[in-house]
Amino acid sequence: MLNNIKLENILFLDIETVPEVETFSELSKEKQELYALKTQYQRKEDISAEEFYERAGIWAEFGKIICISVGYFVNIDSDRSFRVKSFSGDEAQLLEAFKKLLENHFNKPGHVLCAHNGKEFDFPYIARRMIIHNISLPEKLNLFGKKPWEVAHLDTMDLWKFGDYKHYTSLKLLTNILGIPSPKQDIDGSQVAEVYFKEKDLNRIVEYCERDTIAVAQLLLRFNNLEILKDDEITMV
């Protein structure tokens, strides 16, 4: 499927996001009104903006990133290895660290970013949060003036659509039908905010994010009819 892209040139990634503050009441009056306007078409008539606030993390204007996990292949032709690294905690700091990784190691024309639903969520979310934090965009996230074929982004959900752009397939479903170990062994995306704010267990979220990143790499291997990664081929760095 992707014979013209070298696996070692791909940076696989996943992000985890939560609302910018724990409760709706912590927002300023103006921000509450803006959130109500932003979500008015997603909410049912009997659901208030405050009741809907648990979903605020899906919008970059009302959420924040608490973890970015990345993975990349080394020695693809012999003694294959997949290395996984995470940036977590303070959002501005993790965004700066992620930007440094891109600029130092994934800045060549042949380098590509890959995520599941990345084109509609991960990539624009990271870019928007960088702008909010006054962080200049790295080349791989700066899409201004670029033609579609110049954008170095891969999306495993997009690849699975095969032109059927109304088709949404979750990472959990795809891994299941393709015989890939499920990344959803502990928590799922709907529980991240509770684990972060209530349980204050960031490490648990990081582990979940890393499993998703590995799953995205496994999908791309399966799309190319290649053997999926074994546990001893995966290294946390």
pLDDT per residue as tens digits for the range 157-191: 999 998 887 778 999 999 999 999 876 677 888 89
Mean pLDDT rounded to a whole number for the chain:
93
What is the structure's pLDDT at 61? Answer: 98
Residues of the chain with pLDDT under 50: none
What is the structure's pLDDT at 189? Answer: 81
- Measured in whole angstroms, the distance separating CA 75 from the mean position of its chain's CA atoms is 25
Token pair, residue 86, equals 């995470």
What is the structure's pLDDT at 184? Answer: 65
- Measured in whole angstroms, the distance separating CA 84 from the mean position of its chain's CA atoms is 14
Token pair, residue 115, equals 């995520």
* pTM listed for this prediction: 0.95
What is the structure's pLDDT at 197? Answer: 97
Q: 192 and 208 in contact (C-beta within 8 Å)? A: yes
Whole-number Å distance between alpha carbons of 14 and 194: 19
The residue among 147, 128, 156, 127 whose CA lies nearest residue 139 is 127
Token pair, residue 110, equals 């042949």
CATH superfamily for 7-20+62-229 is Ribonuclease H-like superfamily/Ribonuclease H (3.30.420.10)
Looking at the DSSP assignment, which residues form a beta bridge with residue 153?
A: 113
